[in-house]
Chain A
């Protein structure tokens, strides 16, 4: 019943409205076609490489061991995605719609783990929870604990990947909750539905696109994560691909295995696509929005606080304090923990460029997909995700191949590097902008068109300002993930170009945690600023 009302209400408020939008502006097509070519380059490379494989590849693929790795990868993807949802939904709701004490602080702190590189989380978890790690040492004295439960393998990988990946769901969910029209809930309540019933039948269906988009990113991220799974020794497909490069320098088999990963990614993309309904989620205009009523938690505030506290403790406090411990040990050991400020500047500069370039491509893709739905635009939106599911090394080598042989002038320049980041991180921006766009009614653009604006003018004057939160969130996400990206940065950057991420890598590859800790802390601090701004900005807008 309530869902019926919700649908009716959205339909009434939003209308159907695609008339007059049959043909998208040429500029959009151009940008989108460019993006499509960019995303297809790695795929072309993989097919090219794998076509050189003979029976050996099939032999490798159909070993029982490969199937076991496949099974393990699927298990990890499902578990990480499930737990990330289970963390994100309550946290997002508590920080956006209840009277949880220090809501704003919690909403920033719970999103911050996104800025911590997964290889850092991997090292930290081994150091903190591993055998003879910090926790065991601390418990050994007072309680005589000799052994902690084994962290290597599935439990450690699950913990590490979840801690870096759950913000991919949390962030879109937070902004989706902010964008909800409270009137729908009020209607449901006025018709006699309880809080829980309203949540389940009115709110949850409206959050579905955000949850699905976030879950998609988490699932694909889990497919391609290398740092955490290798340090916690859980054999996934990505690790098997890395091993091909690392141990036998076999690009052909690596490409074959990568194509399997592509197939897995396509399966996940298809699953997510099927969860998307035909429902529309926009309301008449942003201006009529008003603050929702906040749920009083009463006695529930304590378990709620404990839950948020636990998430922040594991995902943020633990890594930062282990880094602090290494740093302190390094200082007291008299190590010179120098860091040139240019590393931080380089990181911020190149990440800014990546965010801008990726943002533009994503706007084009998102608008085409939402406003001009066709088989082609759907497909285009879907394939942008493939780059996100592939290990960084694969994308990097694909662009090394094309760059060195067909685009020599840009090879190993910033242009190439930014291009690589765009291929890797495009879907993050597409997802954010797309969800934001879904909440904007096409009626407004139609009004502008009826007043004589061209589609492009209407787009610039009406649509873009309204989806600004989505654009900023999307570009912000790209900025943050670029800050910590490693394989493409190492291989494609201009020679001698050092960033915070590469200096963390350099220190850990020499086995010095103390020297790795300093750039890692700077990276986290530097990334926290845009992260906090993103969270607070979104907040202000919903409070306005």
Chain B
């Protein structure tokens, strides 16, 4: 009975807190609860107005170290919400002008492109640091790091010479049952967008139909694809370049998969970017600009090149020794603005029955 009473008291208090707070937020219960939790969660004190708020679609393990360095070197406090890029993009769209975010750090160009209307144009001082291919013409965001589309092949079954000059060659019937892809992955779809720009709609449809006829194995993500290539489940995967190096770090360099950048270039060799932008409604614009400047500084660019195996977007940074130098990849020059038409790509993928 005592137990029930206690339970009931707790229950009542909790409902009061929840109930009152929604339509007409009662100041008393809410802040108490929040304060307790902030104290248990983070060592940082309760958020001050100076705190920069970042929505990051990039994984915490990859970007937290460099954000920590930013905090250390500038003294600006940063709080980060980590979630999937598309979920965060949808969140920013729903929040509209009330978004608490200052900076959106996205994993792929599609994600940040989706919220372009809510972003502020970046100052030229930031834009000019980045090579033109790595930012959209409207100056709403900049690429922070680059990633190459590759064919990842099993080295026990294939030699690099066996692979076609151009990704279109994979539609040949000899690849039947040997391919894997991740058609719901954002980078894959960005590559299809590049195909539509470079090849046109018809040839892209032909490619999709040709690959589909070769019975590729669908994977939920790139890590799964590359692992499957390593296990010999498939001979060739179509991921971004850096997944391989992440796996090699865990399993060693004997992992029997290598990357191939199609030697004739084309959409199969396209370079994509992970970009960041500042929201038009940001309350800390100045700190947000400092944040982007820092991410484009040699320190941060070297970090991305060395730790996450990505390509730097500014000049004068060395890429990782395992990576094919950017200059050796015949990447098609395609503007980030052209990469924005996700809808057309999704429609094509639906039409061909590749995504539901």
Q: Which A positions have Cβ atoms within 8 angstroms of B?
A: 31, 34, 37-38, 63, 65-66, 69, 126, 131-132, 152, 230-231, 233, 235, 239-240, 243, 245-251, 333, 342, 345-346, 349-350, 353, 356-357, 359-361, 363, 393, 396-397, 400-401, 404-405, 407-416, 418-419, 422, 460, 464-465, 468, 471-472, 475, 487, 490-491, 494-498, 502, 506-507, 509-512, 514-515
Contact = CB atoms under 8 A, between A and B. Distances in A.
Contacts of B30: 409-410, 413, 415
A509 B80 CA distance: 16
11 contacts: A132-B233, A231-B220, A350-B37, A353-B33, A363-B11, A405-B95, A409-B30, A413-B30, A491-B87, A495-B47, A497-B41
A38 B42 CA distance: 30
A420 B196 CA distance: 41
B40 A342 contact: yes
A505 to B, nearest CB: 8
Given A247-B346, A404-B95, A491 B21 contact: no
Contacts of A465: 1, 4
Given A131-B233, A415-B30, A510-B62, A407 B22 contact: yes
A400 B94 contact: yes
Given A495-B80, A511-B243, A397 B233 contact: no
Contacts of A361: 15
Contacts of B138: none
A247 B184 contact: yes
Most interface-central of B7, B12, B79, B96 (chain A CB within 10 A): B7
Interface residues of B, number: 80
Q: Closest 7 CB pairs between A and B?
A: A511-B223, A249-B114, A409-B25, A404-B95, A356-B14, A490-B83, A132-B231
A412 B15 CA distance: 18
Contacts of A346: 37, 40-41
Given A247-B342, A471-B7, A496-B79, A404 B189 contact: no
A506 B60 contact: yes
B24 to A, nearest CB: 9
Nearest to B85: A246
A345 B40 contact: yes
Contacts of B13: 356
Interface string B115-154: 0000000000000000000000000000000000000000
Interface in B62-100: 62, 79-84, 86-91, 93-96, 98-100
A407 B80 contact: no
B185 to A, nearest CB: 9
A349 B37 contact: yes
Given A249-B89, A464-B4, A511-B246, A401 B94 contact: yes
Nearest to B183: A247
Contacts of A353: 14, 33
B333 interface: no
Given A249-B110, A487-B87, A415 B21 contact: yes
Nearest to A359: B11
Nearest to A364: B15
Given A404-B96, A411-B98, 18 more contacts: A65-B350, A231-B220, A243-B355, A245-B87, A248-B343, A249-B86, A342-B41, A356-B14, A357-B11, A360-B12, A408-B98, A409-B21, A411-B100, A419-B22, A490-B81, A495-B53, A502-B82, A511-B243
A249 B111 contact: yes
B342 A248 contact: yes
A246 B4 CA distance: 45
B59 A233 contact: no
Contacts of A235: 356
A494 B37 contact: yes
A496 B184 contact: no
A367 to B, nearest CB: 14
B55 to A, nearest CB: 9
Contact of A240 (B4, B29, B250, B356): B356
Nearest to B61: A510
B80 A239 contact: no
Contact of A243 (B22, B88, B184): B184
A400 B87 CA distance: 11
A397 to B, nearest CB: 5
A496 B42 contact: yes
